Amino acid sequence: MPLVVVGSVALDSVETPTQKRDRILGGSAAYFSYAASFFTSVRLAGVVGEDFPPEHVALLKSRNIDTAGLQVVEGGKTFYWKGKYLPNMNDRETLELQLNVLADFQPDLPESYRRCKFLFLANGSPKLQMQVMEQCRGASLVVADTMDFYIKNEPAELRALLKKVDGLVLNDSEAKLLTGIDNLVQAGHAIRALGPRFVVIKKGEHGAMFFSEFETYVLPAFPTEKVVDPTGAGDSFAGGMMGYLAEKNSFDPKTLKEALAYGTLVASFTVEDFSLDRLAQITREDLDQRMEEYKRMLSF
Which residues of the chain form contacts with a copy of itself (CB under 8 A)? 87-89, 182-186, 189, 203, 205-207, 209, 216-221, 223-225, 227, 254, 257-258, 261, 295, 297-300
Choice between 125 and 250, CB closer to a copy of itself: 250
E-strand spans in 220-259?
A: none
Please report how close the Cβ of residue 209 comes to a copy of itself at its closest, in angstroms.
6
Q: What share of the chain is helix, strand, coil (3-state, %, to 5)?
A: 40, 25, 35
E-strand spans in 188-285?
A: 198-202, 208-211, 216-219
Please report how close the Cβ of residue 80 comes to a copy of itself at its closest, in angstroms.
28
CA distances, 285 to each of 55, 216, 288, 292 (Å): 25, 29, 5, 11
The region that residue 27 occupies, defined by phi over 0 for left and psi between -120 and 50 for alpha, beta otherwise, is left
Strand partners, 118: 3, 141
Please report how close the Cβ of residue 231 comes to a copy of itself at its closest, in angstroms.
16
Please report how close the Cβ of residue 83 comes to a copy of itself at its closest, in angstroms.
17
- Angle in degrees, 0-180, between the axes of helices 233-248 and 253-270, rounded to the nearest 10: 140
Containing H/E element for 262?
helix 253-270
Choice between 82 and 189, CB closer to a copy of itself: 189
Is the CB of residue 196 less than 8 Å from the CB of residue 162?
A: yes
Please report how close the Cβ of residue 223 comes to a copy of itself at its closest, in angstroms.
5
Choice between 82 and 257, CB closer to a copy of itself: 257
Please report how close the Cβ of residue 111 comes to a copy of itself at its closest, in angstroms.
36
Choice between 147 and 218, CB closer to a copy of itself: 218
Strands, sheet with 198-202, edge to edge from the N-terminal-most edge strand:
65-73, 42-49, 3-6, 118-121, 141-145, 167-171, 198-202, 208-211, 216-219
Choice between 23 and 189, CB closer to a copy of itself: 189
Please report how close the Cβ of residue 181 comes to a copy of itself at its closest, in angstroms.
10
Choice between 157 and 205, CB closer to a copy of itself: 205
The one-character DSSP state at 83 is E
Choice between 184 and 287, CB closer to a copy of itself: 184
